[in-house]
Amino acid sequence: MEFRLIQPLIDTALSEDLTYGDATASGILGPDIRCSLNLVQRRDGVVAGLPVAQMVFEALDPEVEFKMLVQDGDYVNAGTQLASIRGRAVKMVMAERTALNFMMRLGGIASMTHQLVAEARKVNDRVRITDTRKTTPGLRALEKYAVRLGGGHNHRFCLADMAMLKDNHLALLGKARISLKDAVERIRQHNHHGIKIEIEVDRLDQIDEVIASGADAILLDNMTPEQLRQAVQHIQGKLVVEASGGVTLEMVRPIAETGVDLISVGSLTHSPRSMDIGLDYF
């Protein structure tokens, strides 16, 4: 992760709080008052976003002392101190909410990913849990970074990373009377750097056409574990097999048992439970 690329996000986030200043801190705290605080995780889970938090504090107080006591990607128990911070009090209280917002969001994503990976690996030690493009606008790089910290893998970052023929594309192909095989050939001709091509299906009777098309991977959307198992057996390793749709902590294990290669989970980035993190001043 190139954290220097995240600076515009931090600047935007800080401006949400500070465009018109801080009516509280500026009124009661002098510029020379210094204080210390501990950054503490209140719930078991994966640490994510410490470098971002440091950048937030440094944006307002370049001389802040920010000491990390754990590393991003560490799994810690509730009550673990993540960092000790010392700086100008007026700047510390201005920065704290923005720093926590980043860490709580990223920690929630990393921890949810960790849970899903651990559950899936109980029955399938080669399956990969991946994210999707269902990310918070502007935060994709950070959210996909958090998925990796939790042991997951990134799917497409942007539309150029892989060609994916999804249901809407297939409907348009039908209107244009373009066969799936022709569509795959056109994509390969248009993209000369050898990107992978994946095709989405939601019925078992669509699989043979995907195999014949020359695609690299198949996305099995909203299928039951039994349907997934039948699909994997039918495909026999001719395609990379991805399962998607309705993946929860309760369902990830039976899905992994079917032998699929990838399980993509949109909820990793569109609806994680934020990590509980607090700041203790002293």
- State the catalytic residues: 97, 134, 166, 200, 221
Are 257 and 84 a contacting pair, CB within 8 Å?
Answer: no
